[in-house]
Amino acid sequence: MSEVGTRETIETTNPTTGKRLDHHEYMTDKEVEDAISKCHEAFGKWKKVSPEDRAEVIKAIGKELMNAKEELAQLMTDEMGKTLKQSGQEVDLCAAICQYTAEIGPNELKTEEREMVNGKKGRVSYAPIGVVYGIQPWNYPSYQVVRYSIASLMAGNAVLLKHASNVTGTGKFLERIYSDAGIPDGLFTTLVISHDQSDEVIKNKLVRGVTLTGSPDAGRNIGQKATAQLKKTVLELGSNDAYLVFEDADIDLAVKACVKGRIYNNGETCIAAKRFIVTEKVYDEFREKFVKTMSEVKTGNPNNESTQLGPMAREDLRDDLHEQVVKSVEKGAKIACGGEIPDGDGFFYPATVLENVQPGQPAYEDELFGPVASLIKAVDNEDAMRIANDSKFGLGGGIFSKDEEAAFEIAEKHFDTGMVFINSFGLADPAMPFGGVKDSGYGREHGGFGLKEFVNIKGVMKR
């Protein structure tokens, strides 16, 4: 953070080069208050628009995202370092969310006729509540914003955004895209503000809901502040996802998916594959192939098509990750590949595999938010499931087994997470619920569920 004139500014840095990218002025307290008031005024008009007409605007946002795909993708790569190809994929996903939400929204929000126990008729309606405030991270600069904002807008709410400071440019660019799509002035507003100003936004009486994607500590902090104001929250707080390789797994398939699951988005994904729990029967084969493939991952400039792994988003994040690796090794883990900070410009960290991972090590207990894999040996399938659930987190996970029906049953009945992938590594899908349990937070987005997180589910009855 620096000062230009009398105003403090946010400076963004290109993680590929380590050099300054841009600067953005913080808003004054008065500008923040005015923006909230304007957003609330826009809500007063937007809530009267029919769901069908709202859906048309949501579709238009999707189209504008695709129109700006090249510029937006490059900006995301410049600001946080993901490969340019994956930045493009992120824009595609954002557009798909818009299309899916527009298609299902009117029906999901339709007033329901319901027969009451006394035989009389009642209605259940889904009324928007007002301004929803989103505090979002840097790892998916567009997707994280689209995920909550499109559902909120479809429901008839207005939206405020506080984006992570290192992707401020993307936050401001998204505001422009939404505006170009024709939403009412002020209905979606990016606030360039400090943490102290953010706390005041939560307290503002015009703000009715708060959603955050971030760390468990950030979730506890924001959750407490919002709850103190009696405001609804949705929290998505990261994880230490376990991918289980059962005795009957297709090892080549498992290795390919697990490597992708660990290095995708430079390993900086809440729902990334992080712990690899492999049954003793197939452990040696999986370990040999997994370590070999991870050691061959091509790290480099994310703008190059051949690059598989770009830099980490910030230098402090790389330092934190390396410290977790070092502490894990000090407590008995072994480095199978990687594990050293390279020389040169940028915030690069190699694809790394830790083995002999045991309870008490950061690699076992905590989220490693970067391209570091924790390899754990299990006695059998049942032991693998036990180890997977031995975690304070519960966002996602995976099972590799040729008996897919059995894998589905185990996932449904025993895996203590919000999402499970069978014989694959998966990210978000607009048609499926997204969210977790335990320290991974609460609430659901996508699949129609997010549409009803910030609405007044209203019962209307007559005698």
Token pair recorded at residue 364: 């076992």
Measured at the CA of 336, the angle between CA 333 and CA 342, to 5 degrees, comes to 100
Residue type, position 351, single letter:
A
Please give the span between the terminal C-alpha atoms of the chain, in angstroms, as a whole number: 61
Cα 14 from Cα 158, distance rounded (Å): 32
* Torsion, CA 217, CA 159, CA 452, CA 109, rounded to 10: -170
Task: Read off the tokens for 309.
Answer: 């792994």
Q: Which of 64, 79, 236, 453 is catalytic?
A: 236
β-sheet bridge partners, residue 397: 242
Contact 447, 434 (CB under 8 A): yes
Report how far residue 134's alpha carbon sits from residue 444's, in angstroms, rounded to the nearest whole number. 14
Strands 7-14 and 19-25: antiparallel
The structure tokens 């995301």 sit at: 76
Q: Which of 98, 258, 270, 337 is catalytic?
A: 270
Between the CA of residue 420 and those of 97, 118, 191, 347, 398, what are the distances in Å?
20, 41, 35, 31, 5
Report helix, strand and coil shares of the chain as percent, to nearest 5.
45, 20, 35
* Among 217, 250, 267, CA closest to 424: 250
Give the single-character DSSP code of 119: S
Residue spans of beta strands (DSSP E) within 181-238: 188-190, 207-213, 232-236
337 in catalytic set? no
Q: Tokens at residue 5, please?
A: 């004139």
The answer to whether the Cα torsion of 258, 260, 263, 268 is positive or negative is negative
**Residue 121, burial from CB neighbour count under 10 angstroms (0-12, 13-18, 19+):** exposed
- Rounded CA-CA distance 321/325 in Å is 6
Nearest to residue 375, comparing CAs of 338, 415, 334? 334
Q: At which residue do the structure tokens 């502490």 appear?
A: 327
Q: Taking a C-beta distance cutoff of 8 angstroms, is the pair 101, 429 a contact?
A: no
**Residues noted as catalytic:** 236, 270
